Amino acid sequence: MTGQRKGPARDVTIPTPIEALTVAKAVVATRYADAAFAFAAGSIMRGDGTYLSDIDLVVIHDRLETARRESFTADGFPIEAFVHDPETLAWFVDADVARGRPSILNMIAEGKIIGDADRARALQRDMARRLADGPPPLAPGERDALRYDITDAIDDLRGERRPGEILAIGATLYPRLVELSLRGRGRWNGAGKWAPRLLAAVDADLAVRYEHAFRILFVSGKCEDVIALAEREMQPHGGPLFDGDCRPAPSSWRIRPRSEP
């Protein structure tokens, strides 16, 4: 084993992929004994985990009342489990595809199989195909909502702001701008550590521009590079958006007054 991590009551080491798979198999055998099959995934399984990484576990039952996501510790290591049957899994897969962020598709496609290998491999092939197909194009309403939010944020940065306000605006702006950059190029979106990785996979120079602009913003409070980056990324999609933006609410969004007694 490599490295050290703090468990609930004792120090334990980060598992290698083989050790993590052993832990995952034991969890499936004891906690999910009725499951048909499962996938162990995440950075530890890829061999690039840190001392705080968890084991992602997608567990498939033949039938469940409800899907669930649960976090717990097994043998001193954190486990994040996504528990489904085929119907609930299909709903979450479709939802991930629709939002352009294929979290559970990736876990299944890259996961190590536990249990019924034939069914698991068939599901992996389906997830790999859907990943290769890419996300649906940004709908005009989604694109314009991103443009509007990004425009609002960079307009805020143009004003006189306290350092704490600049940090808050930048933290809000970064994921929205990344989403426009990735989805606007027909690529899958991602959050957290995945954002710079996905940007680099699309365009190494773009990833460098992001890191440079936001590093300057967060370290020194200087906004010019972030504003220029945002304007450049919005340009292929119609540029900044404020004047003329209109988003009608569904007619069902109303609370009718209570009838008088």
Q: Taken in order 174, 250, 134, 184, is the CA torsion positive or negative?
A: negative
Kindly report, residue by residue over 116-133, the tens digit of the pLDDT.
999 999 999 999 999 999
According to CATH, the topology of domain 2-133 is: Beta Polymerase; domain 2 (3.30.460)
User: 92, 96, 85: which is closest to 119 by C-alpha?
Assistant: 85
Three-class DSSP category at 251? coil
Per residue in 8-48, pLDDT (tens digit) is 443 456 678 999 999 999 999 999 999 999 999 998 888 88
Domain ranges of the chain: 2-133, 140-237
pTM: 0.88
Q: Average pLDDT by consecutive 10-residue portion of the chain (261 residues)?
A: 41 75 96 98 86 90 97 92 98 97 97 97 98 96 97 96 96 98 98 95 97 98 98 98 93 85 59
| Rounded Cα gap, residues 138 and 144, in angstroms | 9
